[in-house]
Amino acid sequence: MQAPIAWSTPPGGYGPWEQVVSTLTEALVGLGVHITLYATGDSSTRGELRSVVEHGYGQDPSYDVKVFEALHIARVFEEAGEHDIIHNHFDFLPLAWSRLVETPVVTTIHGLSSRRILPAYRAYDDRVHYVAISEADRSPELAYAATVHHGIDLDAFAYRAEPDRDGHVAFFGRIHPDKGTAAAIDIARAAGRRIELAGIVHDQQYFDAEVRPRLGADASYLGALSGADRASFLGAASALLHPIAFAEPFGLAVVEAFACGTPVVAAPLGSLPELVRPGVNGFLAATAAEASAFVARIGDIERARCRKDAEDRFAAATMARKYLAVYEKILSDRA
């Protein structure tokens, strides 16, 4: 299992790819699979950990990123003969090594950041087995072994039958125009609800120009949250607002909110129509006005159904079993 090395696996804070790798690794170990995790040295796993760098370059700017990315990839492929499958979560760079080894390579594409990287994926389409994280994120130019939605550790997100009494709503995610942070404040304000916002600032100029001026008594920014604080934040809200402005490959915070029993009001872009079931675990709103109207109706959603939906579709073990089926098919076909 090849993780990114920007952050530890699992990450201490931000690091969605590392979090997914950790969740999948631990769930596979729980199913009796022997996993060797290639990640930073300060990572934690019940599998076997191997590393070439002590901690992530997101934590230590003194690292030369390209040097350690090269060493990280090299170690995985130099030791390929020890493994039945290499599962790459490190984007397109490891693909260039795939024809140099006999070991099958699976690559989870955690979102196509740009069409400019498609040539790399196309070049190895006949060698590497690609997995999409949503149907919406599939490229018609690539062949896929499967689509596997992310799973989460449900035990880490305690169910809350009732939100806080004030009925506030929440925004959780990168503070960036793509995520619609400022729009979330406007939606909450139009609906007469207080909003709490949390997440790492990925666009300081946007935060200073569009988000900070909107903050006030009814809109507070709590900073970046992780671990138990993240679950508590999501569970306390009457709804999670997710007014994205791009085709999001997958919304991890959306699924985490469901697990806490919190319904979601989201824009119908990217993977969101695959995650949000209108009237069951939230609503899809094409405009800010629609979103505000749905916030007023959020009490129509039963929080227990949100939790049940997360258990049925987004459990870590469900994700692990789907990936295990991919591995077994590849090895069976190869035999």
Q: Is residue 201 part of a domain?
A: yes
Give the pLDDT of residue 61. 82
Same domain, 196 and 290: yes
Give the pLDDT of residue 146. 98
Q: What mean pLDDT comes out for the span 53-76?
A: 92
What contacts 160, CB < 8 A, 6 or more positions away?
Answer: 235, 236, 260, 261, 262, 303
Q: Is residue 8 part of a domain?
A: no
Q: How many CA atoms lie within 13 A of 201 on its CB side?
A: 13
Q: What mean pLDDT comes out for the span 163-173?
A: 97
CA 168 – CA 128 distance, rounded (Å):
46
**Residue 89 pLDDT level (bands cut at 50, 70, 90):** very high
Has residue 110 got a pLDDT over 90?
yes
**Total tally of structural domains belonging to the chain:** 2
What is each CA distance from 145 to 108, 126, 132, in whole angstroms?
A: 10, 11, 8
Q: In this structure, are residues 3 and 39 in contact, taking their beta carbons and an 8 Å threshold?
A: yes
Of 303 and 58, more confident: 303
CA 233 – CA 260 distance, rounded (Å):
10
Domain limits for position 201: 154-313
Tell me the H-state helices in the chain.
16-30, 65-78, 118-123, 181-190, 204-206, 227-236, 252-260, 272-275, 288-296, 303-313, 316-334
Q: What percent of the chain has pLDDT over 70?
A: 100
Give the pLDDT of residue 228. 85
CATH assignment of the domain containing 34: 3.40.50.2000
Same domain, 31 and 110: yes
Q: Is residue 11 part of a domain?
A: no
Q: Is residue 200 part of a domain?
A: yes
Q: How many CB atoms lie within 10 A of CB 210?
A: 16
Has residue 133 got a pLDDT over 80?
yes
**Residue 112 pLDDT level (bands cut at 50, 70, 90):** confident
Q: Is residue 106 part of a domain?
A: yes
pLDDT tens for 96-106 read: 999 999 999 99
**Residue 115 pLDDT level (bands cut at 50, 70, 90):** confident
**Whole-model pTM?**
0.94
pLDDT tens for 185-203 read: 999 999 999 999 999 999 9
What contacts 335, CB < 8 A, 6 or more positions away?
Answer: none
pLDDT tens for 210-266 read: 999 999 999 999 999 988 899 999 999 999 999 999 999 999 999 999 999 999 999
Q: Is residue 2 part of a domain?
A: no
What contacts 194, CB < 8 A, 6 or more positions away?
Answer: 166, 167, 168, 169, 188, 217, 218, 219, 220
User: What one-character-per-residue DSSP string does 179-204 give?
Assistant: GTHHHHHHHHHHTT--EEEE--BS-H
Has residue 113 got a pLDDT over 80?
no
Give the pLDDT of residue 157. 96
CA 86 – CA 100 distance, rounded (Å):
13
Same domain, 206 and 59: no
Both tokens assigned to 5: 């090395």
Q: In this structure, are residues 164 and 180 in contact, taking their beta carbons and an 8 Å threshold?
A: no
